[in-house]
C-alpha cells in the first residue's frame, strides 16, 4: 500500500465504494484490492478501513442518511454523492475523527467528483447526521 494523504485515502474509499455499489456480490476485500489495482487508485490501510467499515455498517449508514434527507429519498441521491456521504457518515458514526474534519474532507472530496451544487446538499445532510451523533 502506498504512502498517501488522508484526503487521497478518502478519495480512494469513495471511488471504490462507488464501484462496489454496482457489484455487491463480490467479496469486499477482494473488490477493494482489484479496484485499486485495475483503476490504478493509490490506497493505504486507512482507505481500506474506511471502505470496509462503510460496507460493514451500510444499512445503519443508509438509514441515518435517509432519515436526514429533507423531501428527498435515498434513490434520488446521485451515487457519487451517496458514496461521499456514506464514507463521511461512517466516520461520524463509528470513528473518533473530529466532526469538522470529517465533514470538511467529505466536501473537498465531493468537489473533485460530483456536480457543483452537490457540496451544499451534502453539507446539510452530514451536519444533520453529526448533530444526531453523540460523542463522549
CB 85 within 8 A of CB 106: yes
| Alpha-helix runs per DSSP H in the chain | 6-20, 28-38, 45-56, 58-67, 79-94, 99-113, 118-132
| Structural domain of 54 | 6-132
- Given a cut of 70, whether residue 135 has pLDDT beyond it is no
pLDDT at 117: 80
Q: Using one digit for the tens of pLDDT, what is the confidence trace for 108-130?
A: 999 999 887 888 899 999 999 99
- Residue 9 C-alpha cell reads as 485515502
In a domain, 35, yes or no: yes
Q: Which residue has the cell 463509528?
A: 94
CA proximity to 126, closest of 90, 95, 97, 96:
90
**Across residues 66-87, what is the average pLDDT?**
92
pLDDT tens across 22-36, in order?
Answer: 988 899 999 999 999
Task: Answer yes or no: are the C-beta atoms of 15 and 40 closer than 8 Å.
Answer: no
Number of domains the chain is built from: 1
Decide if 127 is inside a domain: yes
Q: What is the pLDDT of residue 101?
A: 96
- Only one residue has cell 444526531, namely 132
Q: Has residue 55 been placed in a domain?
A: yes
Look at residue 98 and tell me if it is in a domain: yes
Residue 136's pLDDT band (cuts 50, 70, 90) = very low
- Counting residues of the chain whose pLDDT is more than 90, the rounded percentage is 79
1 found inside a domain:
no
Q: Which helix (H) or strand (E) holds 115?
A: none
CATH of the domain at 36: 1.10.940.10
Amino acid at each position: 500500500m502506498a504512502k498517501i494523504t488522508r484526503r487521497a485515502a478518502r478519495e480512494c474509499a469513495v471511488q471504490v465504494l462507488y464501484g462496489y455499489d454496482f457489484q455487491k456480490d463480490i467479496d469486499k476485500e477482494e473488490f477493494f484490492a482489484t479496484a485499486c489495482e485495475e483503476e490504478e487508485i493509490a490506497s493505504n490501510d486507512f482507505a481500506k478501513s474506511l471502505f470496509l467499515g462503510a460496507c460493514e455498517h451500510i444499512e445503519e449508514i443508509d438509514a441515518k442518511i435517509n432519515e436526514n434527507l429533507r423531501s428527498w429519498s435515498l434513490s434520488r441521491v446521485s451515487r457519487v454523492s451517496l458514496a461521499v456521504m456514506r464514507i463521511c457518515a461512517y466516520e461520524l458514526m463509528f470513528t473518533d475523527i473530529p466532526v469538522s474534519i470529517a465533514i470538511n474532507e467529505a466536501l473537498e472530496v465531493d468537489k473533485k467528483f460530483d456536480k457543483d451544487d452537490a457540496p451544499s446538499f451534502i453539507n446539510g445532510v452530514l451536519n444533520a447526521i453529526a448533530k444526531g451523533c453523540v460523542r463522549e
